[in-house]
Chains A and B, each alone.
Chain A
Amino acid sequence: MTTTGTSVATQVYRVYIKATPQAIWDAITTPEWTERYGVGGRAEYELRQGGAYRVPTTEAMRKAGARMGLSVPDVMVDGEVIELDPPRRLVQTFRMLMDDATAAEGFTRLTWEIDELPGGVSKLTVVHELEGKPQLAALSAGERESEGAGGGWSYVLSDLKTLLETGSSMGASMAPSTGPDHR
């Protein structure tokens, strides 16, 4: 595994999307939307404080894992809702279970902030607190994209913007041959 040149701390990502805060909120929190962009997968949120969060492993994720020599578990990501104020703010924990080393780093804190701007544009800011979690930090920064581990938050947010603004995603998911819609 390659180590990164970056230090491990909080990562902040921001994207401006021509969409309402509600549309962005739905795209983050409902499985019908989450399977259509980024690495795909149907995110299941129990939208209440203390509610569970999980992303069951898709066939595409399983294949991507196999190409990396991993036997991935049935749940790819899990966590818990800490705080929510729809459609403006969601704070949750996030644990990546893709491989043993990353899973062992445990839960991280992930904050989604959505601000409405004039002109039908919203600002989405993702803050991922990754202090002391080098494996997940590398994944989040997209440093293992060439291995097939996905392009991290930059890729996910770029694709989310494309989907909400054009109605279709780039379709360059973890499994380029199948795409997120054909699990």
Chain B
Amino acid sequence: MNDDDRVFRALADPTRRFLLDLLYERDGRTLTQLESGLEMTRFGVMKHLRVLEDAGLVVTRREGREKLHFLNPVPIRLIHDRWIDKYTERRVSALADLKAQLEEEFA
């Protein structure tokens, strides 16, 4: 599985998207704080966080005795920059082609 697969797989689950939303609202939370927003066992939340961490979407850091979870948007940005821009570019070039064609026809 490559990096993009891991990101898409992580995002394919509503609970994991909800966890990312929680971190977007307030970043740098502990497992206990994240757990309180979900109707799920601590173990279940840990499993989801692990998938998000493996995909690079969540980064953990130790601060004192606490392990804090941060939302890392870079993997999504990488997909955006690599894929979405590619499609936008194609649309732009399609329009440029259309313009050239029309100008030729009406020349």
Could you list which residues of chain A lie within 8 angstroms of chain B, going by C-beta atoms? 5-7, 9-16, 125, 127, 141-142, 151, 153-155, 157-159, 161-162, 170, 172
- List B residues 61-75 near A (Cβ within 8 Å): 61, 70-74
Inter-chain contacts of A14 with B (CB < 8 A): 56, 59, 72, 74
**A33 CB to closest chain B CB, in angstroms?**
19
A13-B72 CB under 8 A given contacts A6-B24, A6-B27, A7-B25: yes
Is there contact, CB below 8 Å, between A154 and B77?
Answer: yes
Is there contact, CB below 8 Å, between B27 and A10?
Answer: yes
Could you tell me the distance between the alpha carbons of A170 and B26 in the complex, rounded to whole angstroms? 31
> B54: CB under 8 A from chain A?
no
Is there contact, CB below 8 Å, between A9 and B74?
Answer: no
Inter-chain contacts of B81 with A (CB < 8 A): 155, 158-159, 162, 170
B interface, size bucket:
20 to 34
> B95: CB under 8 A from chain A?
no
Is there contact, CB below 8 Å, between A7 and B70?
Answer: no
Q: Quick one: closest B residue to A161, CB to CB?
A: B78
- Could you count the A-B residue pairs with CB atoms below 8 Å apart for me: how many are there? 61
> B97: CB under 8 A from chain A?
no
Inter-chain contacts of B56 with A (CB < 8 A): 14, 16
Q: Supply 24 A–B pairs (Cβ within 8 Å), ascending by A.
A: A6-B25, A6-B27, A7-B27, A9-B26, A10-B27, A10-B70, A12-B70, A13-B72, A14-B72, A14-B74, A15-B74, A16-B3, A16-B56, A127-B61, A151-B77, A153-B74, A154-B73, A158-B74, A158-B78, A158-B80, A158-B81, A161-B78, A162-B81, A172-B85
Given contacts A9-B27, A13-B74, 10 further A-B contacts (CB under 8 A): A6-B27, A7-B25, A16-B56, A142-B73, A151-B77, A154-B76, A158-B74, A158-B80, A170-B81, A170-B85
Inter-chain contacts of B61 with A (CB < 8 A): 12, 127
Q: Quick one: closest B residue to A126, CB to CB?
A: B74
Inter-chain contacts of B24 with A (CB < 8 A): 5-6
From A6, A10, A127, A154, give the contact of B74 (CB < 8 A): A154
Q: Quick one: closest B residue to A125, CB to CB?
A: B59
- Type the 1/0 row for B7-37, where 1 means its CB is closer than 8 Å to any CB of A: 0000000000000000011111000000000
